[in-house]
């Protein structure tokens, strides 16, 4: 009898088993590839304008219009504003938020929400006007350039931010929930006692990394997120800025006049660190919302007031009872848990971009299972690199174009052909284990 192990036979068998396993994995992936889900609304449940006065807070904030403006430059005869929690520099702002729970499943691991796109539109009610700081600007402005007068392009952009909560608030409510953790339409942004504001705002705009931007124009301005509740001047990156296009899809030129009826489109930049995580966390909770503000400074003290003013439609009277209000569209794919291991940037692929995500976040603490936390322990460390490395190796082994029905037949044909090749071409070269020496 031949008592010697034939290394060639077992090498070929191992290769055969590997190809079979990869073909099976690819077949399973094709069979379970989900279709995108589209959440779209032209009537978001929460549309509220905020201004730092008790009479414009709470139910008074549910209006048919919302403006964006700020105050950060000294004006003769008026005390300098310092950017407090009661009177923030971004004085005129509004929230748009929608209930996604009926369309998009809630409560899933955040990494299973593969965000394809997020778009919000606003329709202009009032003209900005052709004044310094008023013409169209479709690009982010640097805060330091704005403060120093060095901003070279005309106008100011309308900026979109995330929403975070303080005080008792924890999340949006859309059904009139009485639990104080829910912020519903008509709830107060500031705490009020005896008819007066008695504390800093409890709902505020954030940049993609979670920093309160209400007073980013002020040294020592109040911040709900900074140490000791005071921030230095900083230049935040918005989730998006509003862009306006003509009838053939060409973006307005810088400085162009914008007026009533112009549609501002906000396409969320999912490549920015923290943006995808914000959207994923929001969908997990069942609702998504954004703050809108701008650094337009109205010259209101001499009667000339120029700043953006947009339709809201949560009331049945006023100039916009039946339409032209904000819209929200979210396109998301719900991934099978087995398909997302190592996909730290949630783009549906395990690649070098996920390594970059891990490298940039290395050493940080995060919400368990979010971002590059591959093993779900709440820390970005070497163990998460191991998760990515193993997932990357497997992804590279089966990196082929996504097959349809005919390609699936090809997978099976390749597997069958391999075994046919092994039988007719490799088999005769291998000694029979039952043969004599």
Q: Which of 303, 333, 363 is the last residue of a domain?
A: 333
In a domain, 238, yes or no: yes
pLDDT at position 123: 92
Q: Are residues 121 and 234 in the same domain?
A: yes
168 assigned to some structural domain:
yes
364 lies in the same domain as 392: yes
Tell me, yes or no, whether 297 and 381 share the same domain. no
Same domain as 216, residue 112: yes
Are residues 121 and 81 part of one domain?
yes
Stated pTM of the model: 0.73
Burial 62-72 (b: 16+ CB within 10 A, else e): bbbbbbbbbbb
- Check if the beta carbon of residue 124 is closer than 8 Å to that of residue 324: no
82 in the Ramachandran plot: left (φ > 0), alpha (ψ -120 to 50) or beta? alpha
Residue 162, SS3?
strand
Q: How many CB atoms lie within 10 A of CB 60?
A: 16
Provide the residue count of the chain.
Answer: 437
Find where tokens 């060409």 sit: 250
CA-atom Rg of the chain in angstroms: 28
- Same domain? For 60 and 183 the reply is yes
Count of domains in the chain? 2
278 and 160 in contact (C-beta within 8 Å)? no
- Is residue 2 included in any domain, yes or no? no
Q: What's the angle, vertex CA 301, arms to CA 295 and CA 307, rounded to 5?
A: 35
**Cross-strand pairs, 44:** none
Contacts of 112 (CB under 8 A, 6+ apart): 334, 335, 336, 337, 340
Specify the DSSP class assigned to residue 17: H
Q: Give the residue from 171, 120, 117 showing the smallest Cα distance to 346.
A: 117
* CB proximity list for 70: less than 8 A, separation 6 or greater: 89, 90, 91, 92, 217, 293, 294, 295, 296, 297
Is there a single domain that holds both residue 299 and residue 343?
A: no
Look at residue 300 in the predicted model and tell me its pLDDT: 55
β pairing state of 203-206 and 158-165: antiparallel
Q: Domain for residue 225, yes or no? A: yes
In a domain, 436, yes or no: no
Residue 437 lies in a domain: no
Within this chain, do residues 319 and 405 fall inside the same structural domain, yes or no? no
Domain containing 185: what range?
A: 38-333
Whether 83 contacts 283, CB under 8 Å: no
What pLDDT was estimated at residue 192? 87
pLDDT by position in tens, the chain (length 437): 555 555 555 555 555 555 555 455 545 544 456 899 999 999 999 999 999 876 668 888 988 889 999 988 876 666 667 799 999 999 999 999 999 999 999 999 898 999 999 999 999 987 665 554 468 999 999 999 999 989 988 889 999 999 999 999 999 999 999 999 999 999 999 998 887 888 999 999 999 999 999 999 999 899 999 999 999 999 999 999 999 999 999 999 998 988 888 999 999 999 999 999 999 999 999 999 999 999 988 765 444 557 888 999 755 555 455 558 899 999 999 988 765 678 888 776 788 888 998 999 999 888 777 788 888 888 899 998 988 888 787 656 544 444 445 444 544 554 455 445 445 544 444 445 444 44
Interatomic CA distance for residues 73 and 187, integer angstroms: 31
**Same domain as 184, residue 67:** yes
Measured from the Cβ of residue 89, the count of other Cβ atoms closer than 10 Å reads 22
Could you give the CA distance from residue 316 to residue 88 in angstroms, rounded to a whole number? 30
Domain boundary among 333, 362, 391: 333
Instruction: Identify the pLDDT of residue 133.
Output: 46
- Which of 270, 300, 333 is where one domain is finished? 333
How far apart are the C-alpha atoms of 24 and 414, rounded to whole Å?
A: 12
Between CA 161 and CA 427 the distance in angstroms is 65
Among 208, 217, 280, 187, smallest CA distance to 73 is for 217
Q: Are strands 158-165 and 287-294 parallel, antiparallel or unpaired?
A: antiparallel
Q: How many helices (H) and strands (E) does the chain have?
A: 6, 18
Q: What is the pLDDT, as a whole number, of residue 163?
A: 99
Quickly list DSSP for 235-297.
-PPPSEE-B-B-TTSPBPPTT----TTPEEEEE--TTSTTHHHHHHHHHHHTEEEEEEEE---
CA dist 200 and 207 (Å) reads: 19
Q: Are 102 and 349 in contact (CB under 8 A)?
A: no
Same domain, 22 and 168: no
Strand partners, 40: 329
Same domain (yes/no): 371, 392: yes
Mark whether 186 and 236 lie in a shared domain.
yes
Nearest to 288 by CA among 41, 99, 47, 48: 99
Q: Please check whether residue 435 lies inside any domain of the structure.
A: no
């Amino acid at each position: 009898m031949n008592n010697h192990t034939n290394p060639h036979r077992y090498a070929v068998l191992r290769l055969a088993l590997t190809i079979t396993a990869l073909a099976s994995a690819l077949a399973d992936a094709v069979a379970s590839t989900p279709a995108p889900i589209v959440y779209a609304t032209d009537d978001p449940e929460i549309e509220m304008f905020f201004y730092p006065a008790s009479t414009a807070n709470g139910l008074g904030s549910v209006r048919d219009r919302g403006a964006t403006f700020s105050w950060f430059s000294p004006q003769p005869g008026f005390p300098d504003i310092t950017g407090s929690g009661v009177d923030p520099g971004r004085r005129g702002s509004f929230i748009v938020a929608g209930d996604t729970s009926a369309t998009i499943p809630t409560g899933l691991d955040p990494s299973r929400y593969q965000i394809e796109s997020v778009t919000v539109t606003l329709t202009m009610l009032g003209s900005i006007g052709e004044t310094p700081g008023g013409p169209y600007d479709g690009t982010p402005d640097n805060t330091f350039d704005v403060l120093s007068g060095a901003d070279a392009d005309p106008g100011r952009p309308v900026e979109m931010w995330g929403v975070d909560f303080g005080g008792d608030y924890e999340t949006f409510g859309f059904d009139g929930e009485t639990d104080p953790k829910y912020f519903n339409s008509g709830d107060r942004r500031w705490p009020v006692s005896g008819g007066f504001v008695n504390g800093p705002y409890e709902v505020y705009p954030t940049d993609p990394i979670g920093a309160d931007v209400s007073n980013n124009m002020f040294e020592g301005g109040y911040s709900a997120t900074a140490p000791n509740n005071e921030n230095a001047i900083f230049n935040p990156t918005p989730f998006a800025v509003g862009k306006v296009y003509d009838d053939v899809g060409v973006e307005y030129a810088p400085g162009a006049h914008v007026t009533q009826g112009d549609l501002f489109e906000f396409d969320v930049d999912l490549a920015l660190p923290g943006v995808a995580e914000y959207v994923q966390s929001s969908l997990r909770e069942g609702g998504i919302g954004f703050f809108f503000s701008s650094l337009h400074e109205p010259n209101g003290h001499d009667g000339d007031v120029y700043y953006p003013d947009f339709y809201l439609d949560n009331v049945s009277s006023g100039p916009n009872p039946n339409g032209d209000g904000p819209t929200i569209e979210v396109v998301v794919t719900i991934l099978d848990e087995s398909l997302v291991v190592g996909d730290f940037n949630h783009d549906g692929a395990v690649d070098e971009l996920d390594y970059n995500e891990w490298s940039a976040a290395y050493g940080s603490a995060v919400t368990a299972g979010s971002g590059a936390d591959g093993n779900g322990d709440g820390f970005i460390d070497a163990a998460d690199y191991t998760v990515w490395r193993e997932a990357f190796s497997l992804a590279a082994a089966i990196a082929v174009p996504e097959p349809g029905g005919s390609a699936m037949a090809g997978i099976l044909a390749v597997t069958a052909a391999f075994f046919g090749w092994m039988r007719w071409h490799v088999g005769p070269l291998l000694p029979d284990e039952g043969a004599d020496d």
